[in-house]
Structure 1
Amino acid sequence: MKTILYKAETRGHAEHGWLNAHHTFSFANYYDPERIHFGALRVLNDDIIDGGKGFGTHPHDNMEIITIPLTGSLRHEDSMGNGGVIESGDIQVMSAGTGIQHSEFNAQKDKPVNLFQIWVFPNKKNVTPRYEQKTLDLLNHKNSFQLVVSPTPTEQGLWIHQDAWFSIGSFGKGVIEKYELKSKSNGVFAMVIQGSFNVSGTVLENRDGLGIWDTESLTIESLSDDARVLLMEVPMEF
């Protein structure tokens, strides 16, 4: 088993007044040659956006973009004609493919929105752009993992153009869960949303990240009540 630890306080940080952003991997003006990506996982941004503020219309292409609001709500509009709001408990997927333009704004005027925006390199280039969002059934997945992203459509989650599996777990203190990787050639990046965990021998606190590869399984132990973690299994070679 090989691991790489990304402590929360070592992430890149950008403060723009209306936007407080932390970057696990190199992004925008934050560049670290040792932190470009983890396998097919290219971007993991932890953004806090002030009420009514956001990102104006801008382009993307050939990237799988996953947005997970943690608190608050986000309004989305794109060049495919999609428009709407995603709330905490929802997940959004956008395959940029041949090219798409979109905007993202805090849907509330008086409260910040905190979200993860995640980019994954696709396994197919120049696909037809697509958009999808879904409300997760988090209440019925206490003390277990819920699959939220996979390579094929499922009843529980969304799909992207990559052999990747994302799972979210919410656990009480002392719960131990085993995660089996789908492929020996994959790795898993664990990001703590809230609380603390012991992930295969490494203790992680709030917003710490841990990349693990060259293993067939992980052991995840919750060290606090109401602890939440996001597991992102991705190909290490792509």
Structure 2
Amino acid sequence: MSDTQQSGFIGHLIELRNRLMKAILSILVIFIALVYFANDIYAFVAAPLVAHLPANSTMIATDVTAPFFAPFKLTLFVALFSAVPMILHQVWSFIAPGLYKHEKRMLIPILCSSILLFYAGISFCYFVVLPIILGFFTSVGPEMMTLSPDISSYLAFALKLFFAFGVAFEIPVAIMVLCWSGATDIKSLKEKRPYIVVGAFVIAMFLTPPDVLSQTLLALPMLLLFELGLVLAIFYSKKADTVEHEQ
């Protein structure tokens, strides 16, 4: 490796380090701004469960440190999720200098849509999925049972669902990227639709709690998003072909 290549490689490593530090700093700044409201944030996330608790029933903490660490942990995850645009901006700033102009025009909409879809998945989980799942689970237990969920267990349950739906809503973006890059095409994806239906339920089985309702509520949106991705990929492929003809 020549001195020029070595200095260039070291320069890329320094740039990568700086971008990582800025991404971590953005998470830290948001976390510091939110940590004072940690209990309020937890109360907001727990609202779908509290709304379905029987009368005179409350959430409990089975661990002495849980009343502190559960809201603290949730606030850290909220800071991480909130910093996603800043993190992706740092990723974009690192890779953009190595891209052609037409590649930048193609990838910017994908980057923006991926952020919006991630937040849409989390919102769909909170406002639609959680009330349905929690309403079902809190209504099917034996009458002699007193439901008092543990705050740490509920947090793990909710975060797992938020992450699963946030990632699942990225399916249209993934399809567009795969078709644009030439890794696959729309015709091939349509031919594999029966396998994708089965795969959606298998993936939902691993990403959600072990119950059929949660798996179905994730698998069905994944299939709808897959169909949406096929439609958008047609439009995106046409854009890509146009760009290539313009060169």
The structure that is helix-richer by fraction is 2
- The TM-score, its normalising length taken from structure 2, stands at 0.22
The structure that is strand-richer by fraction is 1
- Which protein has the larger Cα radius of gyration, Structure 1 or Structure 2? 2
